[in-house]
Amino acid sequence: MYDIENSIGFHLAKAYQRGFALFKDQLDPYGLTPPQFSVLAFLWKEDGQSQTALSQKTLIDRTTIGGLVDRLEKLGLVKRQPHPEDRRAYRICLTQRGMTLERELCATAAEVLALFLAPLSEDEQNSLHHLLEKIRTAPENRHETTTNP
C-alpha cells in the first residue's frame, strides 16, 4: 500500500502550501499574490519583457501569465507597450508605482523566506537549494504507463 504520509511528493506539496500561505499573508495588504510577485520580480530584473518570455522564466503557462499581467495592469503596476520588433506582441513594462514597490516587496519576500527556512541550518538550506535546483533543471523524463488487460 502506498504510504502517502511518508511520500516525498506529499511533503514537498505541504511545504509549498505552507510557504505560499506565509507569503500570501504578507502580500495581501498590497492586493498581490505570490504568482503576481514572481512576474514583478522578473520584470525588476529585466523590464520590458514579452508575455512569452515571462511565461518561460516563471514556468507559468502563457494563458495564466496573461491573466496575471491583466491584474497587475489593473493595479497600476505594469503597462503593455507595443513591441518594437513584433507588431503582434507587447512588452510588459513596470510603471513608476511598480518600480517603487521593488525594495519593499523584496524585503518582505526575504523576511518570509527567512521565516519559512528558520527550522533549517545554513548548511541544510544550501543543501535544500541545491537539491531542488537539481530536480528543477533535470531533463524531462516521461514514461508512458502501460496496463495489461
pLDDT the model gives residue 142: 57
Q: Extract the C-alpha cell encoding 54.
A: 515571462
Confirm whether 129 is domain-assigned: yes
Number of domains in the chain: 1
Confirm whether 19 is domain-assigned: yes
The CATH number given to whatever domain includes residue 54 is 1.10.10.10
End-to-end CA distance of the chain: 22
At CB < 8 A and 24+ separation, what contacts does 72-80 make? 72/36, 72/39, 72/40, 72/98, 75/31, 75/32, 77/40, 77/101, 78/39, 78/40, 78/43
In the chain, the amino acid numbered 99 is M
Alpha carbons 143 and 60: distance in angstroms, whole number: 23
Taking residues 32-39, what's their average pLDDT?
98
Greater model confidence, 141 or 10: 10
Give tens-digit pLDDT for 95-145. 999 999 999 999 999 999 999 999 999 999 999 999 999 998 898 765 544
128, 120 Cβ separation under 8 angstroms: yes
Write out the residue range of the structural domain in which residue 50 sits.
4-135
pLDDT band at 146 (very low <50, low <70, confident <90, very high): very low
Confirm whether 47 is domain-assigned: yes
Confirm whether 70 is domain-assigned: yes
